[in-house]
Amino acid sequence: MTEPKAINLYFREGGSDKIYQAQLVEAGGGWRVTFQYGRRGKPLTAGEKTDGPTTYEKAEKIYDKLVASKVAKGC
Protein backbone atom coordinates (compact mmCIF):
# COMPACT_ATOMS: atom_id res chain seq x y z
CA MET A 1 0.00 0.00 0.00
CA THR A 2 1.38 3.43 -0.90
CA GLU A 3 0.82 5.79 2.00
CA PRO A 4 2.81 8.79 3.23
CA LYS A 5 4.91 8.18 6.34
CA ALA A 6 6.39 10.54 8.91
CA ILE A 7 8.36 10.21 12.14
CA ASN A 8 9.65 12.58 14.82
CA LEU A 9 12.72 11.43 16.76
CA TYR A 10 14.26 13.14 19.78
CA PHE A 11 17.64 12.90 21.47
CA ARG A 12 18.35 14.38 24.89
CA GLU A 13 21.54 13.61 26.79
CA GLY A 14 23.62 15.96 28.91
CA GLY A 15 23.43 19.39 27.24
CA SER A 16 22.21 17.98 23.94
CA ASP A 17 18.52 18.33 23.01
CA LYS A 18 17.97 17.57 19.33
CA ILE A 19 15.10 16.69 17.04
CA TYR A 20 15.10 14.72 13.77
CA GLN A 21 12.05 14.51 11.51
CA ALA A 22 11.66 12.43 8.34
CA GLN A 23 8.83 12.15 5.84
CA LEU A 24 7.94 9.95 2.88
CA VAL A 25 5.69 12.18 0.76
CA GLU A 26 4.04 12.11 -2.63
CA ALA A 27 5.34 14.95 -4.81
CA GLY A 28 6.04 15.76 -8.45
CA GLY A 29 4.48 12.61 -9.87
CA GLY A 30 6.43 10.29 -7.56
CA TRP A 31 7.64 9.95 -3.98
CA ARG A 32 10.32 11.85 -2.05
CA VAL A 33 12.08 11.40 1.29
CA THR A 34 12.60 14.67 3.14
CA PHE A 35 14.05 15.41 6.57
CA GLN A 36 14.66 18.21 9.06
CA TYR A 37 17.03 18.27 12.04
CA GLY A 38 18.46 20.57 14.66
CA ARG A 39 18.28 21.74 18.25
CA ARG A 40 14.83 21.77 19.81
CA GLY A 41 13.37 25.29 19.77
CA LYS A 42 15.71 26.52 17.01
CA PRO A 43 15.15 26.68 13.24
CA LEU A 44 15.61 23.25 11.68
CA THR A 45 17.87 22.46 8.73
CA ALA A 46 15.98 20.75 5.89
CA GLY A 47 17.16 18.29 3.28
CA GLU A 48 16.10 15.56 0.91
CA LYS A 49 17.40 12.00 0.54
CA THR A 50 15.96 11.43 -2.95
CA ASP A 51 17.37 13.17 -6.03
CA GLY A 52 13.85 13.75 -7.33
CA PRO A 53 10.55 11.92 -7.58
CA THR A 54 11.02 8.16 -7.54
CA THR A 55 8.89 5.04 -7.15
CA TYR A 56 7.21 4.35 -3.84
CA GLU A 57 9.24 1.17 -3.36
CA LYS A 58 12.59 2.96 -3.76
CA ALA A 59 11.52 5.87 -1.58
CA GLU A 60 10.24 3.53 1.13
CA LYS A 61 13.58 1.68 1.25
CA ILE A 62 15.44 4.99 1.57
CA TYR A 63 13.03 6.16 4.30
CA ASP A 64 13.28 2.89 6.27
CA LYS A 65 17.10 2.90 6.06
CA LEU A 66 17.22 6.54 7.21
CA VAL A 67 14.95 5.91 10.19
CA ALA A 68 16.86 2.75 11.18
CA SER A 69 20.18 4.60 11.10
CA LYS A 70 18.86 7.40 13.34
CA VAL A 71 17.31 4.94 15.81
CA ALA A 72 20.59 3.00 15.93
CA LYS A 73 22.39 6.24 16.84
CA GLY A 74 20.07 6.77 19.80
CA CYS A 75 17.38 9.08 18.44
H-run or E-run covering 70? helix 56-72
Work out the pLDDT band at 2, boundaries 50, 70, 90: confident
Q: How far is CA 54 from the centre of its chain?
A: 16
- Report pLDDT digits (tens) over 28-42: 899 999 999 999 999
The amino acid sitting at 44 is: L
Query: Quick one: CA dihedral 56, 66, 48, 35, positive or negative?
Result: positive
- Report pLDDT digits (tens) over 11-26: 998 889 999 999 999 9
Provide the CATH number for the domain around residue 59: 2.20.140
Total structural domains in the chain? 1
Query: Where in the sequence is the domain holding 13, given as residue range(s)?
Result: 5-72
Average pLDDT over residues 40-58: 95
The pLDDT of residue 1 is above 80: no
What percentage of residues in the chain have a pLDDT greater than 70?
A: 99
Measure the CA–CA gap between 16 and 34, rounded to whole angstroms: 23
